[in-house]
Structure 1
Amino acid sequence: MTSTDTSGIAELAARSVQLIADLQHPGGAYPASPTFSAYRGYSWFRDGAFIADGMSSAGAVDSASRFFDWCQRMLQQRGDRIAEIVAAEAQGAPLPDAEMLPTRFTFDGDDGDDDWWDFQTDGYGTWVWAVVAHGERHGLSLDRWAGGIALSVDYLVATGHRACFDWWEEHHEHVHVSTLGCVVAGLEAAADSGILAPDRADAARSAASAARARIEGEGVRDGHLSKWVGSSEVDASLAAVVAPLGVIPAGGALGRATLDAVEAQLCVDGGVHRFTADTFYGGGQWPLLSCFLGLAREAAGDRDAARALLTWAAGTVTDEGFLPEQVADHLLAPDRRQEWVDRWGTVATPLLWSHAMLVRLAVQLDVLAPAEEGRR
């Protein structure tokens, strides 16, 4: 990466922070994409938590805090529902998937009135990990979010072991390793934060230990993490389990083998596919996944590889200055692209998650300096 490239990426990252801030809902929610037909009007805990982590890393403290406030409200409004889920699990009669918490909410806090692939536990772990990291990064008291953290821990202890939809809202019949990674990250962060009552902290540690054992036992194939328990494939979301979540050490044998497998099977010229059988919009390459792999490579000490991945992601920017969800330069299933265009329109652009992951990697590589708001 030349100095000119670095300057251009820094400018793109700074504009990305401003774009996310401008599009954030007054109530704190981050829209997934302001114009894409299937995402418009909704915010995800998972996507939003990673967006908030990117904003927090860039020094946009208030923006990230307001998103975490919104998460807490979503949970507190559903406190009775969580109690019913927890009680049913304790009685050995778990409620069906349809009665679990949704994976996305309207900005005002409703579940939404259209069908979606809703039962996903990853977001509930990810937001807890992100809010604890936010507090540590900026010296903030977690008391502000204690209620939401506690409710999330209760929910994850009760449901985090169950099969559910993955990050991509597919394959609800499997236990996904990246989902387990999000659960472990959230429960361990909460247990170590000091914000939980002792009995709840013990429950969080026990559930995290069980999930971690399952990852390292049933979730490994040929020396690397697998897409789901029992699979031999990989998924690009597994890079996040290495970094930024930090569940699997980047420098260890399992972390290195996982990153090598993701790169060998899913990365072409710096652009990363979700998984080999992907047909969504033809199975293109995702800038946010290149940034996840870049964060993991940086954590493993390979900053040159991380810079190359950042450069590729920045190169997907449109003439309008937007980063898309995916690009069609190297499609895995080109014959399947048009059916999605016909169904939902062109690819989501801008996707705030893409912008946020570029910001997060740019900060990690010292390409973007955090704003003064975050220097405390």
Structure 2
Amino acid sequence: MTVGSDVTHADLALLAERSVELIDRHQSPSGAYPASPTFSAYQGYAWLRDGAFIAEGMSRMADPAGPSAFHAWCARVVGARGTQVSDLIARTGRGLDVSPADMLPTRFTLDGSNGTDEWWDHQLDGYGTWLWSLNLHVRRHNAEIPGLTAAVRTVTEYLTAFWQVPCYDWWEEHVDQRHVSTLGAIHAGLRAAIALGVLTRPLTEAAEEAIEAIAILVANEGVARLGEVISSSDIRPGETNASTDKRPRGVNPGTATQPGGVDTSSAVGRANSHGAGGGGRSPEENRGWVGGAATVTPGGPGGSHGVGGGGRSPEENGGWVGGEFHLTKWLGVGVVDGSLLACVEPFGLYSVEHPVGVGTVAAVERSLGDGFGVYRYLEDTFYGGGRWVLLAGFLGLNHAAAGRPEEAMAYLRWMAAQANGDGELPEQVSDRLLAPERRDEWIERWGPVASPLLWSHGMYLMLADELGVIA
């Protein structure tokens, strides 16, 4: 039986409509999109990364006023930190050290302040992701965003100066590494900054140099063949026209330590949990919002079936098989991470046709896919290490872009099947945990899995739009 076969097209459209309504309702008057309105660790905070993907989903499917307000909030928040960026660049120019604590924040309060709660707070990907999302929205709707020019220049100065600096990854882990998904987001963001046409000539040249340097670095140190890191000039990312561009969490098990505590580089930071919707309940306990008992067939993409394609033969998959090369979690290792999907679609560091793009999608699906849900990484222990709803959205986007709409639709249906009775999508689902013995410690610390997670809804909207499911 096909995954979510009792989820009709009307159900999918209804969840898209519910997602738009939910995101609209929870958007702050300031314009910020809260990561989750009720989850204790995220409540009252907005991430540039989460918000940028939420805004892209809303820009595609809803009134552009909401995402315009978000981008205006970002421009105010970033523009207000121009002096901080100039000071950081000046300090490094004098040979002075800067620490992660000196860098721009990862998340902000809804009014745009830094906040007072400790967090894993040096992440560069969100700034690149915001530029990528901003460019798409402006071009799609001819939107006028107050403060755009100053903010884009500030972020470009920041990223061109510090893109090589190690930082936390999408999952707020491993501050000592240079993460390929972070580099992919910066690459996409700098291309977008150039496409917006507001950079000075020196900034444009600096962005172009950084784009080229990132491509070379990733090709040389961030691509693996059969688990071995390789260096090859013929696997360089292809050229991408920024003006027509269609289009972020670690490896160690980690412990539930506070930021700034012992070994924060491997402590499990913010992660997305997996259950059958509704706080990790089973499908039987969770009377799902879409159909109540949506069927999810085990053994979908990934598992033990070989490289990608849902375990089906090349003939059944229209000839699609995995590539020989794939991107790696960070520079110099051979393992994959779910966040790498974004480096193909939607960021376009490698195209879906490029051997590295093909291989990356296949490697993630083979290693981390399970029943159309996707794990962050195999050693994940956050809330027991569940399958992330939003990562299913990224995998679906990649299938859609590569001309595999049936595969993409299976992921959308699986995402819809995770909604609870109120139509809320969680961060992760808890029916197939990688480390079930670690789940309770996180519930004791922060309560049930985040639900709703607005990023999950944003990714649902992006994939639904790609597949012609209209809210």
Relative to the length of structure 2, the TM-score reads 0.76
Q: Deviations over 1:109-136 (max 9, x none)?
A: 1111111000000000000010001111
Counterpart residue identity of residue 21, structure 1: D
Deviation string 1:49-81 (CA, Å, 9 cap, x unpaired) is: 111111111133111111111111111221211
1:190 aligns with 2:193: yes
- Distance in 2 between the 1:340 and 1:192 partners? 43
> Which residue does the alignment assign to 1:372?
none
Q: Tell me, what secondary structure is at the counterpart of 2:429?
A: coil
- The answer to whether residue 164 in structure 2 is matched with residue 133 in structure 1 is no
Residue 78 (structure 2) pairs with residue 75 (structure 1): yes
1:12 and 2:114 equivalent?
no
Identity of aligned residues (%): 48
Q: Tell me, yes or no, if structure 1 residue 292 matches structure 2 residue 394.
A: yes
Deviates most, 186-195 or 120-129: 186-195
2:90 equivalent to 1:87 = yes
Q: Secondary structure at the match of 2:212?
A: helix
Corresponding residue for 2:470?
A: 368
| 1:298–1:100 distance in 2 versus 1, CA, 3 Å | same
Provide the aligned length of Structure 1 versus Structure 2: 369
Structure 2: distance between partners of 1:224 and 1:311: 27
Secondary structure of 1:224's counterpart equals strand
| Structure 2 residue runs without a partner (length 5+) | 226-324
Shift, 1:143, TM fit: 7.2
User: Amino acid of the residue matched to residue 337 of structure 2?
Assistant: D
Aligned twin of 1:326:
428
- Give the aligned residue type for 2:183: L
1:139: Cα distance to partner? 2.5
What is the Cα deviation at residue 304 of structure 1? 1.0
Is 1:96 the equivalent of 2:110?
A: no
Structure 1 residues 203-212 or 16-25, which shifts more?
203-212
Report matched runs for 1:104-119 at 5 Å: 104-119=107-122
Tell me which amino acid in the other structure corresponds to 2:128.
Answer: G
Give the Cα–Cα distance (whole angstroms) in 2 for the partners of residues 89 and 143 of structure 1. Answer: 30
SS at match of 1:43: strand
Deviations 1:205-256 (A, max 9, x none): 1112111211222111111000011111101111111111122101111101
Match in the other structure for 2:346: 244
Bigger mean CA deviation after superposition, 134-143 or 350-359: 134-143
Per-residue CA distance 1:309-352 (angstroms, 9 max, x = gap):
11111110011211000001111111111110010000000000
Deviation at 1:90, TM superposition (A): 3.0
Distance across 1 between alignment mates of 2:335 and 2:125: 20
Give me the whole-angstrom Cα distance separating, in 1, the residues matched to 2:158 and 2:7.
48
User: Is the contact between residue 85 and residue 94 of structure 1 (CA under 8 Å) also seen in structure 2?
Assistant: no
Match of 1:299, as an amino acid? A
Of the candidates 317, 327, 330, which is equivalent to residue 419 of structure 2?
317
Please give the alpha-carbon distance, in whole angstroms, between the structure 1 residues aligned to 2:144 and 2:453: 31
Greater displacement, 301-310 / 207-216: 207-216
Q: Which residue of 2 aligns with 1:37?
A: 40
Q: 2:437 aligns with which of 335, 352, 359?
A: 335
- Shift in Å at residue 142 of structure 1? 6.3
Q: How does 1:257-268 map to 2 (within 5 A)?
A: 257-268=359-370
RMSD of aligned alpha carbons: 1.4
The amino acid across from 1:209 in the alignment is E
Letter in 2 for 1:196: L
Cα distance, 1:3 vs. partner?
A: 9.5
- Equivalent of residue 449 in structure 2, options 339, 347, 356: 347
- Counterpart Cα distance in 2 of 1:130 and 1:213: 24
Provide, for residues 275-316 of structure 1, a one-character-per-residue CA deviation record: whole Å limited to 9, x for no partner.
011000000001100001110111111111111111111110
Give SS of 2:46's match: strand
Quote how far apart the aligned CAs of 1:92 are: 3.5
Distance in 1 between residues matched to 2:412 and 2:18, nearest whole Å: 16
Report the counterpart of residue 408 of structure 2 in structure 1.
306
1:170 to 146, 168, 173: 173
Answer yes or no: is 1:61 the counterpart of 2:68. Answer: no
Amino acid at match of 2:433: L
CA contact (8 A) 1:191 1:202 kept: no
SS at match of 1:28: coil
TM-fit CA distance, 1:22: 0.7
How far 1:91 sits from its partner (Å)?
Answer: 3.2
Taking the aligned partners of 1:93 and 1:221, their CA distance within structure 2 comes to: 35
CA distance in 1, matches of 2:144, 2:135: 9
The offset of 1:267, in angstroms, is 0.5
| Partner SS state of residue 237, structure 1 | helix
Q: Distance in 1 between matches of 2:173 and 2:73?
A: 26
Alpha-carbon distance between aligned partners in 1 of 2:148 and 2:405, rounded to the nearest angstrom: 34
Give the gaps of 5 or more residues in structure 1. 370-376
Partner of 1:105, secondary structure, is strand
Who wins on radius of gyration, i.e. which is larger? 2
Alignment partners' CA distance in 2, 1:32 and 1:61:
19
